[in-house]
Structure 1
Amino acid sequence: MGTEIWTALSGVAVSGLTAFGSVWVAKAGRRTAEQEQRENFSTFTKALNEELARVKADLVEQKEESVRQRRQIGDLDATVNYLRRRVGVLVSYIRKAGMEAPAPEEMPDRVRTYLDHIDV
């Protein structure tokens, strides 16, 4: 009977240690709340950095387009000013020659704000 008790007690002890070890390994394998938050934060940070990179690329593209449009507006302004001066010179020349310049076609309102002060 002595051997059987030792065998039973050792079986109980081994089972207890195995159960304790299983619980400890299961608990150690779980992620802590801090680890979950850290991973969520790094995922959020990564997504935010990608979005910032996209926004920066869009901003650079918009600035380039803005520079191109400003240059084009400046060129168009110079063209309109040249044409205004040229038309003024031609009208003056025609009137000095004793003729009358042909009647202009109706001026659109959008154009009138820029050319209203010119005698055409």
Structure 2
Amino acid sequence: MSVEMWTAVSSGVVGVVSAGAAVWSGQAARRTRQDRRRDDFTVVTDAMRKEIDRQGQRIEELEQTSDRQEQRLEGAGVAITYLIDRIRSLTAWVHSAGMEPPVAKPIPERAREFIHHDV
């Protein structure tokens, strides 16, 4: 073998080794599958944490709304009880004066489930 041949062969070997080193360094620089999974898990847990916080705030808002509605219903119940008592006392006063109160209009169908008093 001549010198030119040895030079060509050695150049080829150096080229193959250089290509192998480039491929190996490229693989080494890439993130591993485990790294990608860990990053995906972090992204998912962060998203879940944000969603849990959002749901917690929504639940607090709904509880506050529910509390306000309960207070309004309780107030309405007290008002209705007062009005029923007032109507009864007026009816008793009309009877004591020897008169008859006017006939009441029929109770609307929607209101019947809430009115349990014969006024």
TM (normalized to structure 1)? Answer: 0.84
Unaligned runs of 5+ in 2: none
Q: C-alpha offsets along residues 68-107 of structure 1, whole Å, 9 cap, x if unaligned?
A: 0000001001100100110010000000000001110101
Deviation at 1:59, TM superposition (A): 0.5
1:59 is the counterpart of 2:59: yes
Paired position in structure 2 for 1:87: 87
Please identify runs of 4+ aligned residues in structure 1 that moved more than 6 A.
Answer: none
Higher mean C-alpha displacement, 72-81 vs 40-49: 40-49
Describe how 1:19-98 pairs up with structure 2 within 5 A: 19-98=19-98
CA distance in 2, matches of 1:76, 1:87: 16
Unaligned runs of 5+ in 1: none
Deviation at 1:4, TM superposition (A): 4.2
Deviation at 1:115, TM superposition (A): 3.4
Deviation at 1:29, TM superposition (A): 2.6
Measured on the aligned residues, the alpha-carbon RMSD in Å equals 2.1
Instruction: Indicate the percent of aligned positions where both proteins have the same amino acid.
Output: 32
Higher mean C-alpha displacement, 78-87 vs 44-53: 44-53
Q: 1:17 to 1:103 in 2, by over 3 A?
A: same
